[in-house]
């Protein structure tokens, strides 16, 4: 009888530990920063700039990352301080970051520009030109500045935003 009791207690402890681990993992998922770069859903209009990468990075990937960060620091410090631009980076191969891959259809290191209004994704763009321009820092920075300014001045073409559906850079 003592053996059965010990086995029962052991199974009960195992079940409680398993439940605690599952609960911890679930709560950690809820605590993960939102895909809008950690900006609260109730915030107004802002541009999230995501620097997305995987485990394997090449020298061009490193250039894209460095030049993006430099452009934001040099040319967009004030809008970042006001919360108009939010910057974040994420390794899309880490658990919890699958959202970036499915939403922005990325397959390599990417600089994604995502415009949010009241926590809702309005439009986004993943400019592949950054790959061609990474070897020319001045051209890269000028291009990225234009892309950011374009996104900041974006205005939907009506309540359904028909321009977004027509472009390959926007989700359907």
Mean pLDDT, all residues of the chain = 79
| CA–CA dist 84, 45 (Å, integer) | 7
Per-residue pLDDT of 26-65, as tens digits, reads 444 333 344 444 444 446 899 999 999 999 888 999 999 9
**Contact status, residue 171 vs residue 125, Cβ threshold 8 Å:** no
Work out the average pLDDT over 139-159. 87
Residue 171 confidence (pLDDT) above 50: no
- In the sheet that holds 120-125, the strands lie side by side as 85-91, 46-53, 110-117, 120-125
**Burial (CB count <10 Å: 0-12, 13-18, 19+), residue 87:** middle
The answer to pTM > 0.75 is no
Q: Mind giving me the DSSP string for the chain?
A: -HHHHHHHHHHHHHHHHHHHHHHHHHHHHHHSPPTTTT--TT--SEEEEEEEE-S---HHHHHHHHHHHHHHHHH-HHHHHTTSEEEEEEETTSTT-HHHHHHHT--SSEEEEEEEETTEEEEEE--THHHHHTT-HHHHHHHHHHHHHHHHT---SSTT-HHHHHSTTS--
Token reading at 47:
């541009």
pLDDT of residue 6: 78
């Amino acid at each position: 009888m003592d053996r059965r009791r010990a086995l029962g207690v052991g199974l009960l402890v195992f079940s409680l530990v398993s439940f605690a681990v599952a609960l911890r993992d679930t709560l950690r998922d809820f605590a993960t920063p939102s895909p809008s770069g950690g900006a609260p859903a109730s915030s107004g209009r802002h541009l999230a700039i995501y620097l997305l990468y995987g485990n394997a990075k090449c020298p061009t990937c490193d250039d894209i990352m460095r030049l993006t960060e430099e452009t934001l620091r040099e040319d967009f410090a004030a809008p970042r301080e006001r919360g108009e631009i939010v910057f974040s980076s994420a390794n899309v191969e880490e658990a919890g970051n699958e959202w970036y891959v499915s939403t922005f259809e990325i397959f390599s290191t990417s600089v994604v520009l995502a415009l949010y209004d009241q926590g809702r994704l309005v439009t986004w763009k993943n400019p592949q030109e950054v790959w061609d321009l990474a070897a020319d820092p001045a051209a890269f920075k000028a291009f990225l500045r234009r892309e950011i300014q374009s996104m900041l001045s974006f205005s939907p073409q009506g309540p359904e935003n028909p321009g977004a559906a027509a472009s390959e850079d926007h989700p359907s």
